[in-house]
Amino acid sequence: MQAYNDKQPAGVPLDPEAAKDIKLFQPITVKSVTFHNRIGVPPMCMYSSEDGALNDFHIMHYGKFALLGAGLVIIEATAVEPQGRITPRDSGLWKDEQIPALKRVVDMIKSQGAVAGLQIAHAGRKASTAPPYMGDYVETEENGGWPDDVRAASDIPFASHYPKPNALTEEGINEIVQKFADTARRADQAGVEVLEIHSAHGYLLHNFLSGNSNKRTDKFGGSLENRMRFPLMVAKAVRQVWPDHKPLWVRFSGSDLKNEGVLTKDPEGWDIDQATEYARQLKAIGVDVMDCSSGGNLSNAVYPKGDLYQVPLAEAIKRDAAVDVAAVGKIVDAHDAESVLRDNKADFCLVGREYLRDSSWALSACQELGAAVRWPKQYSWAVSGTRKAIKKQKEEEMKKEQEMKK
């Protein structure tokens, strides 16, 4: 179709040979899926769904990233059950009726040449809250919340003004494992190409992983082996139903950031050493890529300042667990992103908030790194003339400089 750009997507160098040393724009293949560059838009909640279903806003929101050159677009955290939403406006895929709305967005992403991803999640003890653009408060039942039915590893609230969660029983744990698997099946039916399990940022699976939030005394608490048990059950159940030829990712926090420094030890809580062992176990199950973030589990976490602060976590996981990784977090500058890949600290760069500021980040990045980039064909006739004019202007300026030196 004329509206499609899947055969010649934007975000690809016009002269691949001239750009062969720019790693950010080299294709990469994982399982049967080829990404036309290493740039991904990570899942970012928009809190704009109705009963979990995506809508026209999401077509526009995700479509623009795919149209303007991102190699991978991961749709926001999508709940496996209604109580697994952060807010009543979260995306969900707990019933078959939600598949068509998701498929509509997935098809849009794929039609522009990007890979369509989806993150599946359970909010755990951070559920039943208001969208952040409305304020930091608990949603009541009258406003669609479920403050008395919030679920977690232990009955410890995330913060003093959050609901007190109910510690899951073993039966409840097994039910949620099945719900993750059922959601994965629906994602496949919707045409999703990359599936990501969310076990970061203080949500349910992270609740269990960290000793800072998991105070259980049964087989799901205490030792690292026990704390990993439930998240690994989820990963195994999802891998069994997710097609072998499709990549499976897992996002996790490399540290709770309880102390200053992303690589600081927190042996009784959650730190890089435990995260590395978790990555090894996930790899053994068949997870293909680890998406390395941090924090979110403690209301008093110590977040470092500055760009690229989470990259050391991705680098450590890649090195010590011998897996493909995605780096994320304050990746703003194209040269910084290129250095992350060139120095073998990660295999993908996920650009989040900067993409909200500039949805054409991939196109700008390629030009900043010295290569001409393909635009969507619908735009190319207009911007090509601009490129030629800029090139001619630069050539004239260089010619004048050379004449002045004579």
Q: Helix 99-111 to helix 56-67 angle, to the nearest 10 degrees?
A: 20
Looking up tokens 């609901």 gives 163
Tokens of 100: 């068509």
Helix (H) or strand (E) holding 363: helix 361-368
Q: Based on the number of CB atoms within 10 Å of its own CB, is 302 exposed (0-12), middle (13-18) or buried (19 or more)?
A: middle
Nearest to residue 114, comparing CAs of 245, 250, 4?
4
**CA 81 to CA 97: how far, in whole Å?**
13
DSSP state of 139: P
**CA 217 to CA 226: how far, in whole Å?**
10
Does the annotation count 203 as an active-site position?
A: yes
Indicate the residue type of 363. Answer: L
Q: Based on the number of CB atoms within 10 Å of its own CB, is 148 exposed (0-12), middle (13-18) or buried (19 or more)?
A: exposed
Nearest to residue 75, comparing CAs of 253, 196, 252, 203?
196
Count Cβ atoms below 10 Å from residue 137 Cβ, excluding itself.
12
Catalytic residue among 203, 278, 303, 355: 203
Tokens of 2: 């004329």
Q: Which residues are catalytic?
A: 203
